[in-house]
Structure 1
Amino acid sequence: MRHLGIKEIEEIIPHRHPFLLVDYIEDYEPGEYAVGYKCVSFREEFFQGHFPQEPVMPGVLTVEALAQTGAVAILSKEENKGKIAYFGGIQKCRFKGKVVPGDKVRLETRIIRQKGPLGVGEAVASVDGKVVVSAELTFVVGQNND
């Protein structure tokens, strides 16, 4: 198993706080898959408005966390180092449960197809073994114009 902490994740993907939504990577294989975690705290900025009476992590942010996990897998390939993975599409997305403060969200994205700069990842987010989001995520690998 290959582990990555926050500093190693920041060396692979360009996201930063408050938009870096992966706290650590438990295991990954470059170009194939990554399994990461988001530890959801009540102090997350989005809970101030979503929703004040019943804090729920926005589903689109859970999808983004899955995409960032997939980006770790695809951008850790030697030929993609220093590049960026952009969203190309979201298919078959289903929201099956809520993510709330205190949850430890397991994020798994497996790359199922890739041709040139385009690819597709099969992504599943779960809490305590229960699927909360599943989706097929399309990405495009491009240059980082820093």
Structure 2
Amino acid sequence: MALLDIHQIRNYLPHRYPFLLVDRVLEAVPEERLVALKNVTYNEPFFTGHFPGRPVMPGVLIVEALAQAAALTASYGREDIDTQNRVYYFTGIDKARFKQPVEPGDQLILEVDILRRIKNMWKCKGVATVDGKVAASAEMMFTFKDIV
């Protein structure tokens, strides 16, 4: 059972095809923790060039999926913000590690924990797993800008 489906996620994130990398939110504690899912299919546009004959999801896109989950963590459950007009931006990435390739058919589980928040700056830890094994992890910092 999804806490947020793709239609609801689109209300929180400005990303659209081909760059929306979160398909579902499975669980969430507002401004604290979130678990999301990305179904990785052979039809992803990046697989045509990365790599022909042996498709692998680029590590930077796994980190981007974690960042999108982090933005959802920061805004989910907040009724005091206009999520339709807020954009989150990376301000830093630390300790990024890539442990195993992510391939078509994999289901990427994105777990994000907010480590701290100071005003409009967040720091979080993200871990992406496939079948219970860590595929990638990173500490990320981000901020937001209201675009209206």
- State, as a whole percentage, how many aligned pairs show the same letter: 46
- TM-score of the superposed pair, with normalisation by structure 1: 0.94
Query: Alignment length, in residue pairs?
Result: 145
Matching residue's letter, 1:119: W
The answer on 1:123 being equivalent to 2:126 is: yes
Kindly provide the CA deviation profile for residues 33-56 of structure 1, in whole angstroms up to 9, marking residues without a partner as x.
111011110111000000002100
In structure 1, stretches of 5+ residues that fail to align are none
Q: C-alpha separation between the residues in 2 aligned to 1:81 and 1:3?
A: 20
Alpha carbons of 1:143 and 1:74: their partners in 2 closer, same or farther (altered >3 Å)?
A: same
Matching residue's letter, 1:135: A
Q: C-alpha separation between the residues in 1 aligned to 2:103 and 2:51?
A: 10
In structure 2, stretches of 5+ residues that fail to align are none
Partner of 1:26: 26
- TM-score of the superposed pair, with normalisation by structure 2: 0.93
Contact kept? 2:2, 2:24, Cα under 8 Å: no
SS at match of 1:51: coil
SS at match of 1:78: coil
Cα root mean square deviation, aligned: 1.4
Q: C-alpha separation between the residues in 1 aligned to 2:44 and 2:4?
A: 22
Contact kept? 1:75, 1:85, Cα under 8 Å: no
